[in-house]
Amino acid sequence: MKEKNINIEVVVISVIIVAAIAASLIFNPQGSLKAIDSLFGFVSKAFGTPLLWFSLAATILCAYLAFSKTGRIKLGDDNPDFSLFSYIGMMICAGLASASIYFSFIEWIYFYSAPALGLDPMSTEAAEWAPAYSFTYWGLISWPPFVLAALPVAISFYKRKNSGLRFSVVCEDLFGLKEKSLIGKIIDILFVITTLGGMSVTLGLGVPLIASFISFIFGVSDSFALQVIIVIVIAVIFSLSSYIGLEKGMKKISDFNIYIAIAFVVFLLIAGPTIFILKYTTNGAALAVQNYLHILFWTDPVNNGGFSEAWIIFYICFAVAYAPLMALFITRISKGRTIREAILSTVLGGSIGCMVLFGINGGFGMNMQLNGKADLVSLLNDQGVGSTVITILSQLPIPEVISASVFTLMLILFLATSLDSASFSLAAVVTTNLKEGDSPKPAFRLFWCVLLALIPLALMFAGAPLSAIQTVCLATAIPFAFVIILFAVKSLKWFKEEARLLDRKED
């Protein structure tokens, strides 16, 4: 790739910021983690409630765009590049990543042992409400920000024919700024840092869990060196996918991974307590639908127990942190789709996929806890996530090494597809002349893959707890939430213009 096609300023500043954060975590881990903890408290209190309203606004705006005349607008003039199955599968693999696999087995434990709504810990009510929270967090809270961030970029790229998959281009067109403006560069840098925060969660949770399973399967020591090797292996898979190309590489990996995931959860459903899992999932879905606003807006203002800050605000920020990279990725794979198809495939496809995943995996573990097969609550507190998930999978009627190997493969492929989509988006945002159908050079995507791994590896090296990883996501996501809403509202004029043009064509 020629140097003139790369926004060198954005690349250099982003590298400096990433290197500074990683160096701080490596050379002053205790001080850095203490600062991160203080930052979490401040940011969650200052921006917590506005973020709840942001989440509701994102969902309402997506519904409006999907079911109004705007929904008929087609992105690009050609037919879709991917089948509906591959299209939804690629979004799920890129958007869910290993974080969903991680939490699907153990998230209910947190909601069961320390529930919201003033419920008694480990009570019947706490058990029944646990899946409702997961379905809401990984459904209407997570997916609307992805597509809401994508639509202004998609209209800019496919309909207004602006060159480049960059938020700065959208900003400059929306507000009449000159090309390569200072504000545009700041937004591109913000894009990079926000994406970094989202991937810190994905890699920060996924890699240690993979290390636990590899340690179990092969009897090797679970160490930081093993985690580095895992990141290298994932990078190799990602690199092969990148060089093959988006259409052949990531599509095939995503399809294969979705098939494995479907087979895995179906086997869990059949081999496990099938009736309980179905009832557990159905009851949880009903509670989630009936109490969506209650779950979203429960802030515990009197007792201030911290549940809202630890969970719902974190998930909103996680969605916002993932939204920039998902916006460019959804734009790239949505050629030939209507806005209605893009919104419903993303929001409904992602939400239903999560409900199935969390319902079956969580229901399997909950049944073990309730029937005394294992004290998973204590196991999670005493030995961590890896031992807890291994114990859950040990109940399957197949050798433990087989279930652990399949689970590990699934995690690795989810992480590889996440890195693929993230590096694609980062490479695209600093490449200045991408046209419709173009992709950034694979070598440049590999560069971003390496950069993306630095802070998660530094967090692992520092022994950062989950709260520290959450804070990195929280702090990087806040500014971009404002960008998403501002762009979405400002671009409504574009949607109306395109809808009027479509009406004229139909008349």
Return the bridge partners of 74, or none.
338
Torsion over CA: 473, 479, 482, 488 (sign): negative
Specify the DSSP element, H or E, that contains 387.
helix 385-393
Q: How far apart are CA 257 and CA 337, in angstroms?
A: 23
Is residue 463 classed exposed, middle or buried when 0-12, 13-18 and 19+ CB atoms within 10 A define those classes?
Answer: exposed
pLDDT at residue 72, rounded to an integer = 92
Please report the pLDDT score of residue 202 as a whole number.
78
Number of neighbouring beta carbons within 10 Å of residue 488: 20
Q: CA angle, 62 as apex, 61 and 67 as ends, to 5°?
A: 100
Report d(CA 119, CA 361) in Å as an integer.
23
| Rounded-to-integer distance, Cα 460 and Cα 285, Å | 35
User: With helix as H, strand as E and coil as C, how does 9-52 read?
Assistant: HHHHHHHHHHHHHHHHHHHCHHHHHHHHHHHHHHHHHHHHHHHH
Report H helices in 68-181: 84-113, 124-137, 144-154, 167-175
Which uninterrupted H or E stretch holds 442?
helix 442-461
- pLDDT per position in the chain (507 positions), as tens? 344 477 788 888 878 887 787 777 777 777 776 776 777 677 777 888 899 999 999 999 999 999 999 999 999 878 888 888 888 887 877 766 677 888 899 999 999 999 998 899 999 999 999 999 999 999 999 999 999 999 999 999 898 888 777 888 898 898 888 877 888 888 888 888 887 777 777 777 788 889 999 999 999 998 888 988 888 787 777 666 665 655 555 667 777 878 888 899 999 999 999 999 999 999 999 999 999 999 999 988 888 888 877 788 888 988 888 888 888 889 988 999 999 999 999 999 999 989 999 999 999 999 999 999 999 999 999 998 999 999 999 999 999 999 999 999 888 888 877 777 777 778 878 777 766 666 677 777 777 777 777 777 776 777 666 556 666 666 767 888 888 888 888 899 999 898 888 888 776
Looking at residue 393, its pLDDT comes to 94
Integer Cα distance of 188 and 170 in angstroms? 11
Q: Phi first, then psi: give them for residue 487, nearest 5 degrees.
A: -65, -40
List, in order, residues 6 or more apart from 220 with CB less than 8 Å away.
214, 226
